[in-house]
Amino acid sequence: MIKVALTVNGTEQSAEVEPRTLLVEMLRDKLGLTGTHVGCDTSQCGACTVHLDGRSIKACTILAVQAAGRNVTTIEGIANADGTLHPMQAAFREHHGLQCGFCTPGMVMSALALVERNVGKAIDETTIRHELEGNLCRCTGYHGIVQAIAAGAKAMGR
C-alpha cells in the first residue's frame, strides 16, 4: 500500500491505496466522492472526467499515485460553499441537459474545460458538439446538453 496525498476540491486529502489503484477508484472508494462515475472502463465515455491541475482528464486513465501532490477538482467541488449551483450546473438543470444523470458529472466537467479552452472564441453548437466527442450519453440526443453548455458558457460570461 502507498499513501497518496493530494488536494481535492481545495482540501488536503490522503488515502492508502495499492499502486495499481486508478484515480477514479481512489476518489470514489477511498474519499467517498461518488459524483465521479465509472462508465466504460476503457476511457471512452467520459463519465469519470475531473480536472487535474486545471486540465480536464478521464480519471480512469491515471493512477492515483500519478496525482500525488496535485490538485483535483470533481463535480462535488464546483458549486458554491452555500450550495448554490455553478452556472454550468444550473444550465444543465434548466435546459434538460440530463436524463438519468449518470454521464452528467463528466459532461459538466468537460463543459467547464471547453469554456476555459475557448476563452475569447465563439462557443457555438458545432464547437460544443466537436468538443463533446469524448463524452457519451446513452439517454439523450445531445440537444439539451448542447443548449445547456451554450447557456452555461453565457452565464459564465463567455
Ranges assigned E (strand) in the chain:
2-8, 11-17, 49-52, 55-58, 71-73
User: Can you list the alpha helix ranges (DSSP code H) found in 37-133?
Assistant: 87-94, 104-117, 125-131
What's the sign of the alpha-carbon dihedral 38, 41, 45, 48?
Answer: positive
**Residue intervals in the chain for CATH 3.10.20.30:** 2-76
Task: Output the CATH code of domain 87-155.
Answer: 1.10.150.120
- Predicted confidence at residue 62, as pLDDT, reads 96
**Residue intervals in the chain for CATH 1.10.150.120:** 87-155
Dist CA 96 CA 110 (whole Å): 17
Dist CA 88 CA 42 (whole Å): 26
The secondary structure of residue 41, as a DSSP letter, is: S
- Predicted confidence at residue 40, as pLDDT, reads 86
Predicted confidence band of residue 125 (pLDDT cuts 50, 70, 90): very high
The residue ranking higher by pLDDT, 7 or 142, is 7
The residue ranking higher by pLDDT, 99 or 82, is 82
20 neighbors 63 (Cβ within 8 angstroms): yes
pLDDT digits 0-9 by tens, 92-121: 999 999 888 899 999 999 999 999 999 888
Total-model pTM:
0.95
Looking at domain 2-76, which CATH architecture does it have? Roll (3.10)
pLDDT digits 0-9 by tens, 8-62: 999 999 999 999 999 999 999 999 999 999 988 788 899 999 999 999 999 999 9
User: Can you list the alpha helix ranges (DSSP code H) found in 1-158?
Assistant: 23-25, 87-94, 104-117, 125-131, 143-155
